Amino acid sequence: MNTSIIAVGTELLFGQTVNTNAAYLSENLNHLGFNVMYHFVVGDNDGRLEHTLKRALTDTDLVIVTGGLGPTQDDMTKETVARVMDAPLYLNEECLAEVKRYFSIRNREMAPNNVQQAYIPENAVIFRNEAGTAPAFAVNKGDKWVICYPGPPRELKWIFEDSGKDFLRKFKEKQIYYRVIRTIGIGESDLETLLMPLIDNQTDPTIATYAKEGECTIRVASQRDTMEEAQAAVENMISRMNNLIGSYIYSYDDEELKSVVVHKLQRQGLTISSAESCTGGAFAASITDVPGASKVLSRGYITYDEEAKISMLGVDPTVIDQYTVVSSEVAIEMAKGARLEAGSDIAVSITGYAGPEADEGREAGNAYIGYAYDDTVGAVELFTKRNDRAWNRNYFRLMMLKVVNEILDEIK
């Protein structure tokens, strides 16, 4: 089904807000087998919204509108959609009860203009919204459908997950099943080369790769008559992929690497500590991003200068003199020191040059990750060839997570 997405909001045309809703909906619509052909953005102006909506309905069969469903004067999505779809607004008592309930459970007074939220186009399918006061709805005129969602991404996502996805599935005769696999440590083109025997001449399941900042994601999707068949086709393909690229895969469920690592540490009952130089705390911050991190990380060391490495981690100054501060030897000393000081099961460290400029004659983008666990110590050299501080630091952080993830697989 050909689809377009219209985002309504002057803040988007001012560039104050990035249209992440269009990306979120597009990704999900594609996963569900819908063909997204256009994105449109219009301001809070009913003439231009009507103009755009009519055009979208001419070119595509399903139009998803986000934004402009609030209770204030400049929100006119509902009125415009009602007019274009010949479905006049009426006061829906159930919606009104929901809006009242929203305020009452939060002990907040309902402003009179919130009654406005409960007006819905005639014959619309209504979607619950427990994340806000604006109900979402779908309305049709013959074969053409318009679905309206509120603009705040949190509300859109809540509704889409709760009922929006299931509603869209009804439009599809075939059943779609997909899984998203995440890999690290291999570039997109190398990954495609390895997967070529599976991609060539393959029509279903489909395999799509997508690269971003040191990671690569693979979506495996099947479209069959029943969900069971689609699921079996995807699982079979994944086990074949496993033989080819298993060593690069860190999640079969689109889980972020930091969550994978924290959850493995929790399951294995292990603790970790960190000693960071060029990442300046970013590794520990991403471990503690994950709820429940206090069970696995009790402390971390940010040792930005040499003196800190010596006094906080007990790095031997002669090792620094002999190998320089950015070396695998110093990285290992840092990890050993952190593990000893923190009394953790595993310790990971980093020392390197983030850039943007070369430092002490060394190129930016070069770093060493050290690790220590059981009787094992070691180091990994990184070299990014990039002169981009933010990119390098993020890459270093991801590679620290990768090293820890591999250690956890090793010792489980």
Which spans of this chain sit near a copy of itself (rule: CB under 8 A)?
A: 7, 12-20, 22-30, 36-43, 48, 51-52, 55, 59, 210, 274, 276, 278-285, 287-289, 291, 293-294, 297-305, 307-308, 312, 342, 355-357, 389-390, 393
Smallest separation (angstroms) from a copy of itself to the CB of 366: 16
Token code pair at residue 214: 């040191």
Please identify, using beta-carbon distances, which residue of 24 and 119 lies nearer to a copy of itself. Answer: 24
Please identify, using beta-carbon distances, which residue of 70 and 300 lies nearer to a copy of itself. Answer: 300
Bridge partners of 371, per DSSP, are: 348, 378
Token code pair at residue 28: 């999900």
Nearest to 150 by CA among 42, 3, 20, 7: 7
Smallest separation (angstroms) from a copy of itself to the CB of 302: 3
Please identify, using beta-carbon distances, which residue of 90 and 391 lies nearer to a copy of itself. Answer: 391
Smallest separation (angstroms) from a copy of itself to the CB of 83: 20
The answer to whether the CB of 90 falls within 8 A of the CB of 127 is no
Specify the 3-state DSSP secondary structure of 194: helix
The answer to whether the CB of 39 falls within 8 A of the CB of 26 is yes
Residues 6+ apart with CB under 8 A from 67: 7, 8, 9, 21, 77, 150, 151
Smallest separation (angstroms) from a copy of itself to the CB of 336: 18
Please identify, using beta-carbon distances, which residue of 135 and 355 lies nearer to a copy of itself. Answer: 355
Smallest separation (angstroms) from a copy of itself to the CB of 185: 20
Please identify, using beta-carbon distances, which residue of 140 and 387 lies nearer to a copy of itself. Answer: 387
Residues 6+ apart with CB under 8 A from 172: 1, 32, 33
Please identify, using beta-carbon distances, which residue of 29 and 261 lies nearer to a copy of itself. Answer: 29
Length of the chain (residues): 412
Token code pair at residue 116: 């406005």
Smallest separation (angstroms) from a copy of itself to the CB of 384: 16
Please identify, using beta-carbon distances, which residue of 7 and 186 lies nearer to a copy of itself. Answer: 7
Token code pair at residue 64: 């998803």
Alpha carbons 102 and 218: distance in angstroms, whole number: 39
Task: Quickly count: other Cβ atoms within 10 Å of residue 255's Cβ.
Answer: 14
Smallest separation (angstroms) from a copy of itself to the CB of 319: 19
